[in-house]
Structure 1
Amino acid sequence: MLPRRALGRQLRKMRLREGISQSGAARVAEISPQSYGRLEDGLKTKITDLAMNALCNAFSSTDEERLLVLDLAQTIRKSAGYDGAWWLSKSAVPGDFRDFIALEETATQIFSWETCIVPGLLQTREYRRALLWAEYPEMPTPEVEASLDVVMRRQELLSKTDLHFEGLIAESVLTTVVGGAAVLADQLSHLLEASRRPNVALRVVGRNAKDQVGVVTGPFVLFDLPPLPISRLRQAPVVYVEGCFGRIYLDHESKVAEYARIRERLRRAAYSEEVSAELVLEALKE
């Protein structure tokens, strides 16, 4: 989904620069105007290198632009099947959450800000179980267990040396009892253990922090992605926000930049990793 939108934006930018209509571009690519419109809108349609090269020729593309277009086209074709990705065979993974797992699997850095609960990649099985029961009290036990298996499988990412996970949480998360005192205590112990990993940073934003931008913004996840495989051009970061109207993925430059600024403000407001660990330990003792 996201590479398709990036390709559509790039093609639209080059086409408008040359003053070519969508109908004219469709003739160049030898596809219908409707299919070309879907292409620029980032919707699913067939993408071939022959058509992309023809469009790049018509749009007087630079070498760098052509590399970017062909690289995105290859990424789209590759991601169409996710190369046998494990989560495709899991019925417990909703269709609209597969993009999130794909981003997790691809990212080089994941920044997560949470105001109410522990980030998913740091949750214990029982903590997650309590959250599922709170959200879906009628969910059958087999479905609960299947969903928990997915969460545990996702957490294997933290063993990757080329991934850095940075989790910032509001101080109230440490004292919000989810699943009972024993479940919370186990969860806090797990946070301490996970924070000792060299590629995991856990920090707490205090109740009395001068900058409470995170309360206003709400939870979000920011994914930094690796360069494209062929051109090595930088991929734009992606922001994930979940709300009452569903899951939203933001990859527009200005919107992502605003969340990146919020990330920096949160980092400045947060306690150090050492002080944060002390707060977790204090909450555990209580």
Structure 2
Amino acid sequence: MAGSTVPRRAFGRFLRTLRGDRSLLAAGLHADTSKQTVMRMEEGLPTKLSTPQLERLLDFYQAGSIERAEALELWDEVRRLAKAAKDQGTHKGWWQSYAGQYGTWFDHYLKLETGARRMTSHQLVLMPGILQTSEYRRAVINATVSGLSAVDIERRLELAARRQARLTEDDLHLDAFVSESVLLHQPGGASVMGEQLQRLAELSERPNVSIRVVPHHVGMYPGLVVQSFTLLDFPPTTSRLVEPPVIYTEGPEGALYLERDDVIARYRQAIEGIQQVALTEEDTRELVLKIAKEYAA
């Protein structure tokens, strides 16, 4: 879990709760730091805050003995994981070397994806990014970004391949629900799509990957209302705090990260409705291979 942002985000959320209605400026002054440092810490971003400064913050927040112990335990975990990540050379995140190849809004998603324990994706038009073959991804890149050099295209394909490597790790479970339309659209042409569907069938054999198609004949279902999204759930920290889930939705101009409890509850209800109408994993695999064979004909 070295390099994971989950403990840091849990720590920041915990401190934000302790701060209550006290101002960021007052908190920063009391800890002999800036309000920007306190804000970054609450957002789960790296800061140069020292343990004595954290102690002063906890004094200012009038934290009780239990709250203080919990905050210091989380802080120790954040520092331990940060040191481990630095020792492994991953403290900036492996994706940082590809920073020029994605929008600034996607950096946060890559942090979340790296730390997720479970991802539930529903896609209406395109294959989930983490399941795309290189040639499928190349077709998407060519259709959405003009003027890229051959080098930049290859770098983006490398990034996509490294994301997909996450599926080989047993600590992540992926539930992917795709509309039948995803199988019928042909980015890159029939041969590219045939290869993509063969790969999809192979990935569906993994014990930590579940892929299910929602066929057209089911008619109206909740997925048509909530549209495409990914729900990310996270493992508990060693201090047993649970990092709240996040809904990620992406559009041509950026992305939304949704965390409100009522919003998460609505999406979970929609997922239940999607599960009810989706084909089984076995029937999905059969359909995918059937269409792949048609593309190869």
- Give TM-score, length-normalised by structure 2: 0.81
* Residue from 267, 288, 295 that aligns with 1:280: 288
Contact 1:211 1:265 survives alignment (8 Å) = no
Alignment of 1:84-99 (within 5 A): 84-90=92-98, 91-99=100-108
Per-residue deviation, 1:35: 5.2
Match of 1:75 in 2: 78
- Provide, for residues 237-279 of structure 1, a one-character-per-residue CA deviation record: whole Å limited to 9, x for no partner: 1221112331222233333333223222222221111111122
Match of 1:134 in 2: 143
Contact 1:210 1:269 survives alignment (8 Å) = no
Q: What is the CA–CA distance in structure 2 between the aligned matches of 1:209 and 1:235, rounded to whole Å?
A: 35
Structure 1 residues 250 and 192: alpha-carbon distance in aligned structure 2, compared to 1, 3 A threshold: same
Query: What is the letter of the counterpart of residue 19 of structure 2?
Result: R
Structure 1 residues 50 and 169: alpha-carbon distance in aligned structure 2, compared to 1, 3 A threshold: same
Per-residue deviation, 1:64: 5.2
Q: What is the CA–CA distance in structure 1 between the aligned matches of 2:117 and 2:43, rounded to whole Å?
A: 27
* Residue from 232, 247, 251 that aligns with 1:239: 247
Structure 1 unaligned residues grouped into runs of 5+: none
Q: Does 1:167 align with 2:176?
A: yes
Instruction: Let me know the Cα RMSD of the aligned residues.
Output: 3.0
Structure 1 residues 247 and 178: alpha-carbon distance in aligned structure 2, compared to 1, 3 A threshold: same
Q: What is the CA–CA distance in structure 1 between the aligned matches of 2:35 and 2:202, rounded to whole Å?
A: 56
Alignment of 1:1-286 (within 5 A): 9-16=13-20, 20=22, 22=24, 24-32=26-34, 36=38, 46-62=48-64, 65-70=67-72, 71=74, 75=78, 78=82, 82-90=90-98, 91-209=100-218, 211-229=220-238, 231-286=239-294
Instruction: Point out the more displaced range, 252-261 or 132-141.
Output: 252-261
Instruction: Point out the more displaced range, 187-196 or 265-274.
Output: 265-274
Instruction: Point out the more displaced range, 149-158 or 54-63.
Output: 54-63
Structure 1 residues 24 and 260: alpha-carbon distance in aligned structure 2, compared to 1, 3 A threshold: same
Instruction: Point out the more displaced range, 88-97 or 141-150.
Output: 88-97
Contact 2:6 2:243 survives alignment (8 Å) = no
Query: What is the letter of the counterpart of residue 133 of structure 2?
Result: T
Per-residue deviation, 1:48: 3.0
Per-residue deviation, 1:188: 0.8
Structure 1 residues 10 and 161: alpha-carbon distance in aligned structure 2, compared to 1, 3 A threshold: closer
Q: What is the CA–CA distance in structure 2 between the aligned matches of 1:236 and 1:257, rounded to whole Å?
A: 12
- Give TM-score, length-normalised by structure 1: 0.84
Contact 1:225 1:235 survives alignment (8 Å) = yes
Q: What is the CA–CA distance in structure 1 between the aligned matches of 2:70 and 2:220, rounded to whole Å?
A: 39
Q: What is the CA–CA distance in structure 2 between the aligned matches of 1:238 and 1:57, rounded to whole Å?
A: 31
Contact 1:222 1:237 survives alignment (8 Å) = yes
Contact 2:249 2:256 survives alignment (8 Å) = yes
Q: What is the CA–CA distance in structure 1 between the aligned matches of 2:146 and 2:25, rounded to whole Å?
A: 52
Q: What is the CA–CA distance in structure 1 between the aligned matches of 2:195 and 2:36, rounded to whole Å?
A: 55
Structure 2 unaligned residues grouped into runs of 5+: none
Query: What is the letter of the counterpart of residue 61 of structure 1?
Result: A
Query: What is the letter of the counterpart of residue 166 of structure 2?
Result: L
Per-residue deviation, 1:31: 3.1
Q: What is the CA–CA distance in structure 2 between the aligned matches of 1:265 and 1:56, rounded to whole Å?
A: 44
Structure 1 residues 41 and 284: alpha-carbon distance in aligned structure 2, compared to 1, 3 A threshold: closer
Query: What is the letter of the counterpart of residue 58 of structure 2?
Result: C
Question: 1:131 is paired with a residue of what secondary structure?
Answer: helix
Number of aligned residues: 283
Contact 2:41 2:47 survives alignment (8 Å) = yes
Q: What is the CA–CA distance in structure 2 between the aligned matches of 1:135 and 1:232, rounded to whole Å?
A: 42
Instruction: Point out the more displaced range, 143-152 or 260-269.
Output: 260-269
